[in-house]
Amino acid sequence: MTDTTISSAVIIGAGIFGVSTGVQLARRGVRVTIVNDGPPANGASGRSLSWLNSARMRSEPYHRLRMAGIDRYRTLAAQHPGADWLRFEGGLTWDADDDRNEIDAAYRHEVSLAYDAQRVSPAEAAGITPGLDARAITPQGAIFNPGEGWVDLPTLIDVLLKEFSARGGVLVTERGAAQVIIEAGRAVGAETADGTRFLADAVVLATGPAVPRMAAENGQTIADGTPVALLVQTKPLAHPLRAVLNTPRVAVRPAPGGSFSIDADWAADEGVKPRPDGGYDIDQRVVAALLDEAAKVMEGNPKLEVATIGVGGKPIPGDGEPVIGALRDIPGYYVAFSHSGATLGLIVGELLAYEVATGAEHPMLATFRPERFTER
């Protein structure tokens, strides 16, 4: 057990950041309660493509954090050999055949970081990535990243919650949205919509796209770039594709049970319309077009059928970088808000729990502090 400066914590949000942090705190001997407005993974974690990667260009600290995140998943995979919800079978990506094609620059950047990358022609890609229709790859070729993978976040969250419960953690659901309780300028707990209060030494806000709004209610600024996302889960299909495909028109990843998860920014932009009641209208013609785009990059161009559709905010901070750590103006109040929730899920939980439990700042989170939005 690691020494802690607190004895209890409450976490608002049962997505991957909240549950991962809760497990890590419980491992340190902290009494933890997680409160969620519905069942676990009912937000962004339930509709994530969940591609485990650090591909393309981003800041060096962000790259290091993502690589640490992937490392933790490799450890987890070793602990769950044969799991159908966590796989490392590579990722293949290519760009459109136009002046925006950055495959060459992306490849050179990845090589400079020692990120495992192979530049491949369409013909070579077909041999490396079974289940691919190589005719879809543009003449500039593709990048194959053999170290990439994917995770099914709802299953992972369920696995983590079993440990959380075994360590004495308490999960509270179905009591409506919760708010942070501030008393004498300090965060002291959370209160659910039904008026139940859960008091603790520290509070972690991990509500995905709702984090900036909820922080703003307490006078804190977190720049928000959250768009609406659309994720389609297909019905099971016997197909040889095992790698994640990230292409100009669609992203495709295998999923447990022989299904596939599919998304694209254009599909969310064109096919999802917010309603005044907070729900969404989905254009089924756009969904059908998205499935067609997925079929085009898959061997045999199979007929894909919808099993489920997930729609909602995709958590992205305004500057694209993670927002993790304490709100310095409100002692005891911590936040976790970031894109790449799957890749960062385990490492963010580990490092944030370290900070909550010890009161110290972890150096890997130095550039991701929430106060950067008020210091500019």
Domains and CATH numbers, the chain: 8-46+153-222+318-373 (3.50.50.60), 85-149+225-313 (3.30.9.10)
The stretches of 80-175 forming alpha helices (DSSP H) are 103-112, 122-128, 153-166
Other CB atoms within a 10 A radius of the CB of residue 248 amount to: 18
- What distance lies between CA 322 and its chain's CA centroid? 11
Token duo for residue 213: 């709004």
- What distance lies between CA 210 and its chain's CA centroid? 14
As a whole number of angstroms, the distance between CA 339 and CA 154 comes to 17
Burial of 190 (0-12, 13-18, 19+ CB in 10 A): buried
Amino acid code (one letter) for 370: P
- Tokens 């919760």 sit on residue: 178
Instruction: Please write the tens of the pLDDT for every residue from 270-296.
Output: 999 999 998 999 999 999 999 999 999
pTM: 0.96
CA distances from 30 to 10, 11, 300, 353 (A): 10, 12, 52, 10
CA distances from 47 to 3, 29, 212, 261 (A): 36, 31, 20, 9
| Dihedral sign computed on CA atoms, order 30, 34, 344, 86 | positive
- Tokens 């385990």 sit on residue: 346
> % helix / strand / coil in the chain, to the nearest 5?
35, 25, 40
Instruction: Please write the tens of the pLDDT for every residue from 126-157.
Output: 999 999 999 999 999 999 999 999 999 999 99
Q: Which residues contact 46 (CB under 8 A, 6 or more apart)?
A: 15, 153, 154, 310
Token duo for residue 86: 């966590």
Contact 259, 236 (CB under 8 A): yes
Beta-bridge partners for 323? 337
pLDDT per residue rounded down to tens, the chain (376 residues): 467 899 999 999 999 999 999 999 999 999 999 999 999 999 999 999 999 999 999 999 999 999 999 999 999 999 999 999 999 999 999 999 999 999 999 999 999 999 999 999 999 999 999 999 999 999 999 999 999 999 999 999 999 999 999 999 999 998 899 999 999 999 999 999 999 999 999 999 999 999 999 999 999 999 999 999 999 999 999 999 999 999 999 999 999 999 999 999 999 999 999 999 989 999 999 999 999 999 999 999 999 999 999 999 999 999 999 999 999 999 999 999 999 999 999 999 999 999 999 999 999 999 999 999 987 5
Instruction: Please write the tens of the pLDDT for every residue from 320-367.
Output: 999 999 999 999 999 999 999 999 999 999 999 999 999 999 999 999
Question: Which pairs from 69-74 meet CB under 8 Å and 24+ separation?
Answer: 69/340, 69/343, 69/344, 69/345, 69/346, 69/347, 69/348, 70/147, 70/148, 70/149, 70/343, 71/347, 72/346, 72/347, 72/350, 73/149, 73/151, 73/346
Q: Cα–Cα–Cα angle for 88, 92, 94, nearest 5°?
A: 160
DSSP string, 162-217: HHHHHTT-EEE-SS---EEEEETTEEEEEE-TTS-EEE-SEEEE--GGGHHHHHHT
Residue 300 DSSP symbol: T
